[in-house]
A and B are shown apart, each in its own frame.
Chain A
Amino acid sequence: MSHQIVSIKVYAAVFGALLALTITTVAVSKLELGEFNFVAAMTIAVIKATLVVMYFMNVRHANSMTKLFVGAGLFWMAILLVFVLSDYLSRGLLPGPGWL
């Protein structure tokens, strides 16, 4: 089998980290950080998703073909959001963030 068995400690640590990050994201949302609230919430969400993908979905031990497909999925998602936003922003259809 290509899969070695991962120790329970690793899974428990990831589980603990995910719970801690959930509490953090709720706590941070109560602070007044302006636009940084959104940045903080998304950063925490991306960290949590990365932990799930790498440890629970075991992509860190996956073969390179699977990693390529996972990366392609994220890349296409990025195309979707970046192109949609650049279209709306460049036509002046959105107010745009304050720093732009």
Chain B
Amino acid sequence: MADSDTTLAIHEPDLRHHFDDSAQQLDSSTLGMWVFLVTEVMFFGGMFGAYTVYRSMYPEAFASTSHFMNVTIGAINTGVLIFSSFTMVMAVRSAQLGQKKAIIAFLVLTLILGCLFLSLKYVEYHEKWVDHHIPGPSFQYQDPRYVHQAQILFFLYFAMTGMHAIHMIVGAGLLTTLIVMAACNRFSGAWYTPVEMIGLYWHFVDIVWIFLFPLLYLIGHTQ
């Protein structure tokens, strides 16, 4: 009790007056962030639902597209994203310990890995462009039996990885904001909520990719 009185007395700038203490404030932010992430689960869920239906409808056509996916880049990108989740969690840990330089270093590393992911994604999209695997009038497919059905898979591929990439770009913007905030000494061991919340967002985007990788790249590798 004496502790919270002191907090009020020094007019803690990061504790809003309608919260009892900073623990309650953090719990409230965490819950709000999770509510947002659940809406994101439903958003991506619609696309995963569409994928499930069409893959069940055209299993052979979907399996045949795996030959044209760049599994090497896909697997490297999975590793890059997992590594970026690790550096993100290390940034949160540094924030908990109040280590300003370490926060900035880990956030910059996370941002670089995010940009590396997007660059590799660009290489893949370029390959699809050269191979005429972009759905539309110029779409071409090597197996004449599956031209229309494979086009559905590539449509889902671009919708799902594209929406994922947009989330990565938004995440990169959020990380940049965090780096600036950290450089301006906005975080302390007592208040680092934005680092933790954007960390949750970043891990969510990682989880989406964890499902996209086997569903889009590894469908028919044995055939």
A and B associate? yes
Residues of A that sit less than 8 Å from B by CB: 1-3, 5-6, 8, 11-12, 14-15, 18-19, 22-23, 25-26, 29-33, 37, 41-42, 44-45, 48-49, 52-53, 55-57, 62-63, 65-66, 69-70, 72-74, 76-77, 80-81, 84-85, 88, 93-97
B82: chain A residues within 8 A (beta carbon) = 15, 18-19, 22
A29-B218, A30-B222, A52-B85 provided; 4 other pairs, C-beta below 8 A? Answer: A63-B30, A76-B41, A81-B45, A84-B49
A3: chain B residues within 8 A (beta carbon) = 26, 96
A48: chain B residues within 8 A (beta carbon) = 207, 210
Residues of B that sit less than 8 Å from A by CB: 22-23, 26-27, 30-31, 34-35, 37-38, 41-42, 45-46, 48-49, 52-53, 56-57, 59, 71, 75, 78-79, 82-83, 85-86, 88-90, 93, 96-97, 190, 199-200, 203-204, 206-207, 210-211, 213-215, 218, 221-222
Task: Give A98 to B195 CA distance when docked, in angstroms.
Answer: 48
Of the candidates B85, B97, B222, the one whose C-beta lies within 8 Å of that of A37 is B222
Of the candidates B42, B71, B214, the one whose C-beta lies within 8 Å of that of A42 is B214
Nearest-CB distance from B117 to chain A (Å)?
A: 14
**Chain A residues touching B, majority SS:** helix
Residue of B nearest to A33 (CB): B222
B45: chain A residues within 8 A (beta carbon) = 76-77, 80-81
A26: chain B residues within 8 A (beta carbon) = 71, 75, 218
Provide a sorted-by-A list of 18 A–B residue pairs whose CB atoms are within 8 angstroms: A1-B22, A1-B26, A3-B26, A5-B97, A11-B93, A15-B85, A22-B213, A26-B75, A31-B222, A41-B218, A44-B214, A53-B207, A57-B200, A57-B204, A66-B31, A69-B34, A70-B34, A73-B41
Q: Is the CB of B27 within 8 A of A63?
A: yes
Nearest-CB distance from A50 to chain B (Å)?
A: 10
Of the candidates A29, A73, A94, the one whose C-beta lies within 8 Å of that of B222 is A29
Nearest-CB distance from B158 to chain A (Å)?
A: 21
